[in-house]
Structure 1
């Protein structure tokens, strides 16, 4: 037995002496050299090379001018001036007295819906009829004749485009100035679809007992004053716009702004009073005076559409005009005013046709 045990020990002893080294016999790890090489020169499949994948920006051959508020914002602001936004019907045109330097739209008081308008010609005493120079039936024709006389190049544009805004039908549209100005505030800096949706929700806030939206009536200033900013915001108005609308309602409710003033005051007085209202800038007031109040002698030098149309009318290549000092100017304000001066007292009509010169779409104004 001892010999067998010795034999077994002798066979086992070499295995003990030559026991496998677990570290030595393990599969070789990935070579560090290869990893470092990959880090130094990474394949594109593992670590994408960002630089080649980003194409270099090509310099624009022609600078692109900023979007003019004409026609998009103009369209949004002028649509409510037509009486069709709350399913109203425009009355047939009456031949009323017209004043080129005054308000020619029949205005409706926001609270009582009382109509304020110039007298129809047939109600003027016979002794005063001889002194009547303009009526709503003749005003546009007189303006167009003056424009063509001053600038014959306008004749083909006038022949191609009918200016409905100042036509007898356009001058018959009854305007609620509060509704028009609120609609203009709602339409600022949003798309047409968004403005329409927000306005419908705003009107619905004050017509909860009327299930048919077609029968909704626009809220009065006192109704808006009786609401809160938080409630107005549920219609989709921003905090600032809700404050603007509420503030405008307070102006009308306190008689700080009145329909009578907007109808009778001079353009300078209207501009001065409305610019005091938060949310109404100079351009907004100019567009309201022109397309809401139907004043015939309004002119906006800050509108890029008007600038471009005037430059094209003067025979300039507007495609070559560039931004100067970071601000786009097709024409200087001084030059625009000098050119427009000869179109008095019909500069509103001249401005309308300046948009048409370059085929700027102002069909929404009609």
Structure 2
């Protein structure tokens, strides 16, 4: 019993002495709140290294992130990797894309050199001025699909010898004999361009796959193609098109484009025969197709060899580096648009390489190692 009484008395004595030995928590909490609300740096003044950052965390990092979003120069028109969808007749699903057999025919740098397919019938549509050549028939001095890329590269090097290392180091497949042998459905190409706007390449591929899956279309054995006809897209409800992952606006754009083909305002034959200015005028009048989209379509799908885009940031950057500028320093125009080079200067430089400005543009992407392989 004495032992128990002694233990109780000791515990009571410790309990009475505890409020005096440990400081009350209220002053500490008030001090912490003042430190959080005050203007001084929470890392200064002897504060705890663990509590001070917690108190100050929500304010300072947010300010830094806000500055980072507004400080840098916004790109005007960057070069998206998914521009490849303009010129790649994709065989979706598990069916492998067949390799096109090279066909030797006359080529013209100022005309459409692609082999186009009718979007409704998949019939090959040839330009009225195209002449198919037999292996033994001489073409004289006219360029053909077999040698036009070589002639273009020789022209670029002749105009500016600095082009030679670029030409030797990079193969421009889009205008090569195998590239010119590809069969292009212009409706599919333009739809792919709309689908790819403002999304990543992987996302655009996934959306395109779901879009195609909305329609019961068997894969064609001969071409490997599997894409809906304009009449099918035009007859589909917007709500159904949106289930593929399209936004309301993109669904309207794709359906509006389909209606243009159904009405005959656009056709593969027109795109094969019309001069570039007419192609540019008719396609930029379609909702969802801006000038850059039409320029990429004309270059990578129609295989026109004298297209040049002054609004492409990758081309601007490459040209600035090509002429020896310090591309680390951005220049701002009076209009507030950040650029590496003005449109006027770009046009003046590129004009020397006509009628092969598309090829010149392709190599300007390569100057700064823009991933143009995904565009082919």
* TM-score past 0.5 threshold: yes
Counterpart in the other structure of 2:200 = 191
Instruction: Give secondary structure in 2 for the equivalent of 1:121.
Output: coil
Equivalent pair of 1:207/1:216 in contact (CA under 8 Å):
no
Equivalent pair of 1:68/1:305 in contact (CA under 8 Å):
no
Instruction: Give secondary structure in 2 for the equivalent of 1:287.
Output: helix
Q: Distance in 2 between matches of 1:312 and 1:94?
A: 37
Larger mean CA deviation between 225-234 and 111-120 belongs to: 111-120
Q: 1:107 aligns with which of 91, 107, 116?
A: 116
| Change in CA separation of 1:123 and 1:220 when aligned onto 2, cut-off 3 Å | farther
User: How do 1:161-200 residues align onto structure 2 when only pairs under 5 Å count?
Assistant: 161-200=170-209
| Change in CA separation of 1:51 and 1:79 when aligned onto 2, cut-off 3 Å | closer
Equivalent pair of 1:78/1:292 in contact (CA under 8 Å):
no
Equivalent pair of 1:166/1:294 in contact (CA under 8 Å):
yes
- CA-atom RMSD, angstroms? 3.1
Within the alignment, does 1:79 sit opposite 2:89 as a pair?
no
Q: Distance in 2 between matches of 1:167 and 1:209?
A: 30
CA displacement, residues 109-163 of structure 1 (integer Å, 9 cap, x when unaligned): 000111023331229988xx44x51110110011001100111111111110010
Q: Distance in 2 between matches of 1:41 and 1:197?
A: 52
Within the alignment, does 1:243 sit opposite 2:285 as a pair?
no
Unaligned runs of 5+ in 2: 1-24, 36-50
Whichever of the two has the greater Rg, that structure is 1
| Change in CA separation of 1:133 and 1:49 when aligned onto 2, cut-off 3 Å | same
Q: TM-score, normalised by structure 2?
A: 0.78
Q: Distance in 1 between matches of 2:362 and 2:298?
A: 13
Q: TM-score, normalised by structure 1?
A: 0.80
CA displacement, residues 321-353 of structure 1 (integer Å, 9 cap, x when unaligned): 344453211111111111111100000000000
Counterpart in the other structure of 1:6 = none
Instruction: Give secondary structure in 1 for the equivalent of 2:251.
Output: helix
Report deviation, 1:79. Answer: 3.4
Within the alignment, does 1:122 sit opposite 2:134 as a pair?
yes
Within the alignment, does 1:277 sit opposite 2:286 as a pair?
yes
